Amino acid sequence: MNILAIDTATEACSVALQFNDIVITRFEVCPQQHSQRLLPMVDDVLKEAQVTLGDLDLLAFGRGPGSFTGVRIATGMIQGLALGTGLKVAGVSTLEAMANEVVSKTENKDTLIAVASDARMNEVYFAVYAQSHSGLVLCVEEQVCPPDIAIEKLNALRDSSSASVIAAGTGWSAYKELEQWKSEVCGEVTSEVTLPNAQYMLKHALDAYQKGEVTEAVNVEPVYLRDKVTWKKLPGRE
């Protein structure tokens, strides 16, 4: 399965190409430069693999949550690529992508992965996942909430589970209450994963394809979680 994935939802800009079981990636932390860097990074991975977009089977993108501008950039780019090639698209949660990266880098399978990404305005984009033999299981739905609500939900989970907690995302260092909770509860069981990486969207994209959960370019939609955001869809879409 040949897949191209892109993400610009946070300060990071990343591209990953899976072609004939070889994965080629680009990852840069480049705030406010995503629109300039994304297409050259796509060109780089395609040239390195010596393939064209026409050789691919599927496109994927970080659908959010994340910065409004960043999510729009990835959504617009993936729509353009999909319209030009006729390829289907898989949208991948940026929070789940970080959880997937944590899974790939930890040997302890009896864990809860709490992802909190700084959403500004004293809020975080937040979700909690558990590991299972079939993959990640969503324990707390994606949401935008204040740090104290995230802590409340985590404490409730811990009351019913003996699993350790691994924290990922920028939200833990952005708010002192989350930093304190992580220090007291997670201790040394923590993660260096702070930003989403398109490389860890590839598996989800493949799963979505196999389950028929992919879409045409005109149906591609970002996920902001905050309600007061508008997105201009392609012509013909309401």
- pLDDT one-digit tens code per residue, 207-223: 999 999 999 999 999 99
Q: For 98-112, 144-158, 168-182, which range has the lowest pLDDT when averaged over its residues?
A: 98-112
Per-residue confidence at 236, pLDDT binned at 50, 70, 90?
A: very low
> Can you give the pLDDT at residue 164?
87
Predicted confidence (pLDDT) at residue 114 exceeds the cutoff of 60 = yes
- The closest of 107, 99, 177 to 139, measured between CA atoms, is 99
> Can you give the pLDDT at residue 161?
81
Distance CA(23)–CA(4), nearest Å, equals 10
**Taking all residues of the chain, what is their mean pLDDT, rounded to a whole number?**
92
Predicted confidence (pLDDT) at residue 13 exceeds the cutoff of 70 = yes
Per-residue confidence at 113, pLDDT binned at 50, 70, 90?
A: very high
User: How much of the chain, in percent, has pLDDT values that exceed 70?
Assistant: 93
- pLDDT one-digit tens code per residue, 24-78: 999 999 999 999 999 999 999 999 999 999 999 999 999 999 999 999 999 999 9
What pTM was estimated for this model as a whole?
0.92
- pLDDT one-digit tens code per residue, 159-206: 888 788 999 999 999 999 999 999 998 865 668 999 999 999 999 999
Q: How many CA atoms lie within 13 A of 101 on its CB side?
A: 21
Predicted confidence (pLDDT) at residue 232 exceeds the cutoff of 60 = no
User: At a CB cut-off of 8 Å and minimum separation 6, what does 130 contact?
Assistant: 111, 112, 113, 136, 137, 139, 161, 163
Residue 121's identity, in one-letter code, is M
Question: Which residue ranges form the domains of the chain, and what is each CATH number?
Answer: 3-94+197-219 (3.30.420.40), 106-185 (3.30.420.40)
193: its two tokens: 């994963």
